Amino acid sequence: MNQLVYKDFEAFRKLEGEQLPVGDWIMITQDMINTFADVTQDFQWVHVDVERARKESPFKKTIAHGFLSISLLSKMLMDLITVESAVMGFNYGLNKVRFPHPVMVDSRLRLHSSVTKIEEYADNGLKITWDCTLEIEGIEKPACVAEFVSLMFEG
């Protein structure tokens, strides 16, 4: 996938209302799930107990935390777009978040997204609303559907 590169905010603003290229696949490993559990202190057996999941889960595998999936949105968007004049960006919030299908260990995810809205923010910033859907390879329902809102600032 080729990254979209914009020189400055003026060029980037033209992306409002546009669909972005589909992102690259990311494999969700048990190590990622375990690390996320360590950081968030969420050790539910459906995430971290491989043997119990094999015996008791309807999926017969561990599943990723829903918030692990959504936490990948920043990285996935940064993989798709660069604004050269931007000096920093922040997560602003999430709207309408849903997790329609669990992400089983060793599944691959990729991002389908568009820029819904670009608004002025402060003196040198933009507030961007992204429409995001995380596709699970081989599964009809997505892992996550959300409006993701971020801030970006020029130097």
Q: What is the pLDDT of residue 31?
A: 98
Contacts of 140 (CB under 8 A, 6+ apart): none
pTM comes to 0.93
Q: Are 70 and 93 in contact (CB under 8 A)?
A: no
* 81-83 and 125-136 strand pairing: unpaired
Domain containing residue 11: CATH number: 3.10.129.10
- Number of domains making up the chain: 1
Task: Give pLDDT tens digits for 15-24.
Answer: 999 999 999 9
* pLDDT above 80: residue 1: no
For residue 8, the enclosing domain spans 4-154
pLDDT digits (tens, 9 = 90+) for 28-45: 999 999 999 999 999 999
Name the DSSP letter for residue 60.
Answer: S
Nearest Cα neighbor of 65 from 91, 99, 96, 113 is 99
pLDDT tens for 52-84 read 999 999 999 999 999 999 999 999 999 999 999
Structure confidence at residue 2 (pLDDT): 78
